[in-house]
Amino acid sequence: MTEQTELFETGGRQLAEGGTPSYLVHGSDDRFPIPNTAAQPYATVVRVNVTFADGSSGFGSGVMVGRNDVLTAGHVVYDRASGGYATRIEIVPGQGGSVHPFGETAGIRAHIPYQYAASESFLYDIAVVQTRSDIGDLTGWLGLRSVSNPAAIENTVIHTAGYPFDRQGGNFMYGATDRVDFMVGNRIFYNGALDTFAGQSGSGLWLDEGGQRSVIGVHTTGGRSFNNGTAL
């Protein structure tokens, strides 16, 4: 894997392996604001607010993948040093500042790979949150697609959207689009125009093939050379 300092990008409580700055925009800042967060596919993008047993709190991003299922990063909802699983999870789809077009719902259960619970390694950094209400019936949701052939998605355009902390405190949604540079194992690497910042951990990475959108992974990590995420 490309040598780099990794920085998990959770707004308000960055979990760093090393001391790199959290500003992980490569070259020019190519992120763009989402003016209508109630339109597809952005209605499926959620802000994930979390509180842990030790009283620490923060937020990440996620994407609806079922009527009551949110896909996000493992470190958004689990931190061993803070007591394990988040004790409170709030899901806010399509947030645009103080406007919550679909309301909010509680996350009642989070699931992470057992390997992530044991090691907190970014290799297994992915999670699913079950919501109390079937809020996906209001927002819609994106389909899932596993990456069985890494070569097939290299140089393929992917999209993401989430809540970067450096833009209005992470209260507004921003999107980004770029091509996949390469994959190593289950890690998707990208730099160029797919810029990220703290708060965007858990943002879905999706393909758009003629309007057919499918999530292939989640953004988890920023680096000096490449930003990267966990593939399904």
The tokens describing 100, both together, are 């919550």
**Residue 91: enclosing H or E segment and its boundaries?**
strand 88-93
Distances (CA, A) of 200 to 35, 48, 84: 18, 10, 21
- Name the residue among 126, 129, 119 with its Cα closest to residue 146: 126
Question: Three-class SS of residue 114?
Answer: helix
Classified as helix, coil or strand, 79 is strand
Q: What is the pLDDT of residues 122-155, one digit of tens each?
A: 899 999 999 999 999 999 999 999 998 888 899 9
**pLDDT score of 194:** 67
Which secondary structure element, helix H or strand E, spans residue 76, and what is its range?
helix 74-77
The model's pTM is: 0.89
| Interatomic CA distance for residues 67 and 24, integer angstroms | 33
What does each C-alpha distance from 126 to 1, 98, 194 come to in angstroms?
19, 28, 19
Tell me what pLDDT residue 89 has: 98
Please give the pLDDT value at position 71.
Answer: 98
CB 226 within 8 Å of CB 190: yes
**Please, are residues 196 and 219 in contact by the beta-carbon 8 Å criterion?**
yes
Tokens 């990220």 correspond to 196
b/e code 62-78 from CB counts within 10 Å (16+ = b): bbbbbebbbbbbbbbbb
Retrieve residue 163's tokens.
């809540």
Q: What pLDDT score does 34 carry?
A: 97
> What does the alpha-carbon distance between residue 71 and residue 125 come to, in Å, rounded to a whole number?
11
Give residue 28's pLDDT: 64
User: 88: how many CB neighbours lie within 10 A of its CB?
Assistant: 12
- Which residues, given as ranges, of the chain have pLDDT below 50? 1-9, 11-12, 14-23
